[in-house]
Amino acid sequence: MFFGLPWTAWLLIAIAILPSLAIVLRFYSLHHEEGAWTEEAE
């Protein structure tokens, strides 16, 4: 048990979140273009 939860439960929570977070951060760092957040619509 770790913080009241079995380690297998923590493993499931980690698998649910960490790989996707790593993928989307990698994707963002490779393809994000400067100004994309702030550029106004025509």
Count of residues interacting with another protein (CB under 8 A)? 30
Residues contacting residue 28 through CB under 8 Å, at least 6 positions apart: none
Residues contacting residue 1 through CB under 8 Å, at least 6 positions apart: 7
Mark residues 15-34: x for contact with another protein by CB under 8 A, - for none. Answer: xxx-xxx-xxxxxx-xxxx-
Residues in the chain: 42
CB of 30 to another protein, least distance (A): 6
Binding residues for another protein, rule: CB under 8 A, are: 3-6, 8-9, 11-13, 15-17, 19-21, 23-28, 30-33, 36-37, 39, 41-42
